[in-house]
Amino acid sequence: MAELDGKTIAFLVATEGVEQVELTEPWAAVEKAGGVPRLLSVEAGKVQALNHLDKADTFEVDAVVADADPATYDGLVLPGGVANPDALRTDEDAVAFVRDFVEADQPVAAICHAPWTLVEADVVRGRRMTSWPSLQTDLRNAGAEWVDEEVVVDGRLVTSRKPDDLPAFDEAMVELFAG
């Protein structure tokens, strides 16, 4: 696996609803590769993760997205969970952070329902992507080419469909962030 050599990777989540495994497994992959993961959210304090629809663990927020500068991060991970990206896409600061990150051509990794935030940021047009199947119409309507594949890399964007795809997603994500 590629080495991240101390690169700082932002994980952006809402205050509630992130799918725990889609946060913790990529987080562990970043750490294993020598990166420094940082949890960003729309509020300070803790975020509540879910195992599908059941409450799981809470995680301490490192920075509030409204105060975060995309230029200080070497990569961005958008974990899924249905409620997580649905809440993020209604937060102007979160959407602006994602848009600024993509427009600066910094690498982004999104899994499951997370591409909803990319749709809201209007950064999927012309991209080849995958996601949880129920998002395919939203992605196509926003100008993306949706495909049903385990992992898709399109330039500086990597996407995957679901928790079962995490091994391939984590590998592609770390490769992308390693540059």
Q: Which residues are the active-site residues?
A: 112-113
How crowded is residue 87: how many other Cβ atoms within 10 Å of its Cβ?
21
Three-class SS state of 128: strand
What does the DSSP assignment read for 71-124? GG-SEEEE---SHHHHHHTT-HHHHHHHHHHHHTT--EEEETTTHHHHHHTT--
CA distance 114 to 78: 6
Contact 22, 112 (CB under 8 A): yes
Residue from 163, 156, 41, 165 nearest 108 by CA: 156
Q: C-alpha angle with apex 150: 169 to 60, nearest 5 degrees?
A: 35
CA distance 110 to 79: 6
